[in-house]
A and B are shown apart, each in its own frame.
Chain A
Amino acid sequence: MTESVFFYLLSGLVLSSAWSVVRNENLFHAGLSLILCFVGVAGIYMNLDAPFLGAMQVLIYAGAIAVLLLFGFMLTHDLMKARHERNQHLAGILIPVLMALLLVGTILNAQWHASSGQPVNFGVASLARRYMQQDLVAFEMVALLLLASLMGAVVIARKEEGSRE
């Protein structure tokens, strides 16, 4: 069962890199660990025969968002001191524990239906059809949200420029 072996390897990678994100003293290393974590999650998607989701995870999270994060780090003054300024250990422990309880509780209580029919060929085409037919409203809502955030970013960037003059 190659899949299980890869699953455990990837899970180990995801968990250890996630731990490194939280605990690493060096903020740049933490950022890199975050990318490793994203790539590990993408690997799990690919392992589960969802290559499109995996590729999107790499493209959007690892390739764009996390790189923008690192980009921000590079522009930050006194990066290494930033981590020690706040002490939020209590909240930092409490929230993940509550999250974990919620998730474990949900997973344990869920009714897992074993599929009896033929495996569905769930490719990109069917995903696209779904977006354009059944879930069009949700799709458009997401587009609108993205547009709004884009406009917001432009407005914020413009304001700073104006105040400098």
Chain B
Amino acid sequence: MDLVTAYTGQDVALVLIMLLMLALILGFIAGSSLILIWAERKVAARIQNRVGPMMTGPRKFAEFSMWTGGLLQTAADAIKLLVKELIIPSKTDAIPFIAAPVLIVTVCVTAYIVIPFGPAFSVSDLNIGVVHVVAISSLTVLSIVMAGWSSNSKYSLLGGLRSAAQMLSYEIPLIFALLGPILLAGGLSMQKMVLAQREYGCWFLLPSLLGFLIYYVASIAEVNRPPFDIPEAESELVAGYVSEYSGMMFAMFFLAEFANMFLVCSVAATVFLGGWLVPFMPVPDNPTPVYILLGILTFFLKTSFLVFIMMWIRWTFPRVRPDHLMNLGWKYLFPLSLLNLLICAGIAVLKDVYKLNGWGISLASLGALAMVMLLLQVVRIPRPDTFLEKA
């Protein structure tokens, strides 16, 4: 009987809306990835003193042709990958081999649900927002392990193993870095995070500067980007877990990599940089259309800035060695993230007791940071090399 009501009743509309929303997110991910891949290639080119892709795209105006020249390159690449044959090598474990790229994109789409693009502009403002993103993203590693194992190739297997170890270790500092802002906001919902920063009068970047840095480093490791791209180190593992993939299945891994990069940056922008809060502009209680538009623009500007820095880091630093990576994650980032939690708790208490405004909180957090620096001067932290010599 329930099945019948489901087919005839109003709930069907709800399911349809949910499907429509998911399709919208998928479209957004595909579109933003096209732009991000183009941006990555152009940024890489500028850093290496090249011009990057130039052939596909409008080149009418000489001044702008540096940037518009390769604008359609990614679209051309996407069409090429779409029409390519899907090769499934005969010795692979076919079901996980095909399921892995599907899973990685699914996970990405699901995680995007809670991202607040603007005031009242998220698909669903779940009251567990931050935990939702972290929990769903933790399934990405599963997809990589599946791809690594089912490819039946030593390069893929090694890539999958390295990735599993890396992502499991960096998930911990990532979550602990987010705990500070969660404590300050007193809730897990993403919109509530933004509103709490409005209430505090300053971005959570200041009270948990340490947390922001830890989150940023850990998130670069989570999305397997250089300098933490050990799972897909092309000079030693061909391409790691994507070695055996071709055509659209490869493109899905590629798409998910860029979509994940945008995802972690948008979480960082929301949690630490005030999300859609426009700086130096009072927030109306009921957001006006102008404010909503400005808010969406601000959100994208903040996120793009973080994405740009990630690209900058990628083309500037050499790859980290696996043992250095583990040392950094467990011996530095994790204890520091606990320290960050402590500082955030202190500032939350200060705010409650002394009713501090934004300036007061900024001052208090700077003071806390200075104390941490002093502490680090007193307590000598050994460099990674000394750990290695002992082992």
Identify which of A28-36, A92-100, A139-147 touches chain B.
A28-36
Q: B161 near A64 (CB under 8 angstroms)?
A: no
User: Which partner residue on chain B sits nearest A58 by CB separation?
Assistant: B135
- Residues in chain A near residue B126, CB distance under 8 A: 51
| A28 to B161 alpha-carbon distance, docked (Å) | 14
How many A-B residue contacts, CB cutoff 8 Å?
95
- Residues in chain B near residue A39, CB distance under 8 A: 139
Partner of B149, one of A56, A64, A70: A70
Asked if A150 is at the interface (CB within 8 A of a chain B CB), the reply is: no
- Residues in chain A near residue B171, CB distance under 8 A: 63-64
Asked if B145 is at the interface (CB within 8 A of a chain A CB), the reply is: yes
- Residues in chain B near residue A118, CB distance under 8 A: none
Q: A32 near B96 (CB under 8 angstroms)?
A: yes
| Known A-B contacts A29-B96, A68-B168, A124-B188; A74 and B145 likewise in contact (beta carbons under 8 Å) | yes
Q: B136 near A58 (CB under 8 angstroms)?
A: yes
State which residues 363-378 of B face A: CB under 8 Å: none
Asked if A155 is at the interface (CB within 8 A of a chain B CB), the reply is: no
| A31 to B95 alpha-carbon distance, docked (Å) | 13
| A74 to B142 alpha-carbon distance, docked (Å) | 13
Asked if A5 is at the interface (CB within 8 A of a chain B CB), the reply is: yes
State which residues 68-88 of A face B: CB under 8 Å: 68, 70-71, 73-75
Nearest chain B CB to A37's CB is how many angstroms away? 13
The interface bits of chain B over 147-189 (1 if a CB of A lies within 8 angstroms of the residue's CB, else 0) are 0111000000100110011001001000000000000001110
State which residues 115-131 of B face A: CB under 8 Å: 126-128, 131
State which residues 95-127 of B face A: CB under 8 Å: 95-96, 126-127
- Residues in chain B near residue A71, CB distance under 8 A: 145, 161, 164-165, 168
Asked if A116 is at the interface (CB within 8 A of a chain B CB), the reply is: no
State which residues 36-76 of A face B: CB under 8 Å: 39, 51-52, 55-56, 58-59, 62-64, 66-68, 70-71, 73-75
Nearest chain A CB to B222's CB is how many angstroms away? 12
Partner of A63, one of B5, B6, B141, B146: B141
Partner of B145, one of A4, A67, A123, A124: A67
Q: B168 near A5 (CB under 8 angstroms)?
A: no
User: Which partner residue on chain B sits nearest A124 by CB separation?
Assistant: B188
| A59 to B140 alpha-carbon distance, docked (Å) | 11
Nearest chain A CB to B144's CB is how many angstroms away? 9
Number of interface residues of A (CB under 8 A): 30
| A4 to B4 alpha-carbon distance, docked (Å) | 11
- Residues in chain A near residue B2, CB distance under 8 A: 1, 4-5
| A26 to B15 alpha-carbon distance, docked (Å) | 36
The interface bits of chain B over 200-226 (1 if a CB of A lies within 8 angstroms of the residue's CB, else 0) are 000000000000000000000000000
User: Which partner residue on chain A sits nearest B142 by CB separation?
Assistant: A67
| A52 to B126 alpha-carbon distance, docked (Å) | 10
- Residues in chain B near residue A120, CB distance under 8 A: none
Partner of A123, one of B5, B15, B127: B127
Asked if B93 is at the interface (CB within 8 A of a chain A CB), the reply is: yes
| A71 to B160 alpha-carbon distance, docked (Å) | 9
| Known A-B contacts A63-B142, A124-B128; A74 and B161 likewise in contact (beta carbons under 8 Å) | yes
User: Which partner residue on chain A sits nearest B157 by CB separation?
Assistant: A74
Partner of A59, one of B3, B6, B131, B149: B131
Asked if B138 is at the interface (CB within 8 A of a chain A CB), the reply is: yes
Asked if A134 is at the interface (CB within 8 A of a chain B CB), the reply is: no
Nearest chain B CB to A24's CB is how many angstroms away? 11
| A86 to B188 alpha-carbon distance, docked (Å) | 47
Q: A70 near B142 (CB under 8 angstroms)?
A: yes
Asked if B338 is at the interface (CB within 8 A of a chain A CB), the reply is: no
The interface bits of chain B over 3-42 (1 if a CB of A lies within 8 angstroms of the residue's CB, else 0) are 1011001010011000000000000000000000000000
Asked if A2 is at the interface (CB within 8 A of a chain B CB), the reply is: yes
Asked if B302 is at the interface (CB within 8 A of a chain A CB), the reply is: no
Partner of B138, one of A4, A59, A70, A123: A59
Q: B128 near A2 (CB under 8 angstroms)?
A: no
| A103 to B15 alpha-carbon distance, docked (Å) | 34
Asked if A125 is at the interface (CB within 8 A of a chain B CB), the reply is: yes
Nearest chain A CB to B94's CB is how many angstroms away? 11
Q: B157 near A58 (CB under 8 angstroms)?
A: no
Q: B11 near A124 (CB under 8 angstroms)?
A: no
Asked if B134 is at the interface (CB within 8 A of a chain A CB), the reply is: yes
Partner of B96, one of A2, A28, A55: A28
User: Which partner residue on chain A sits nearest B175 by CB separation?
Assistant: A59
19 chain-A/chain-B pairs, Cβ below 8 angstroms? A1-B11, A2-B6, A4-B3, A28-B96, A32-B146, A52-B131, A55-B128, A58-B139, A59-B138, A62-B139, A67-B141, A68-B168, A70-B164, A71-B164, A71-B165, A71-B168, A74-B148, A74-B160, A124-B127
Interfacial residues, chain B to chain A (CB-CB below 8 A): 2-3, 5-6, 9, 11, 14-15, 93, 95-96, 126-128, 131-132, 134-136, 138-139, 141-142, 145-146, 148-150, 157, 160-161, 164-165, 168, 171, 186-188
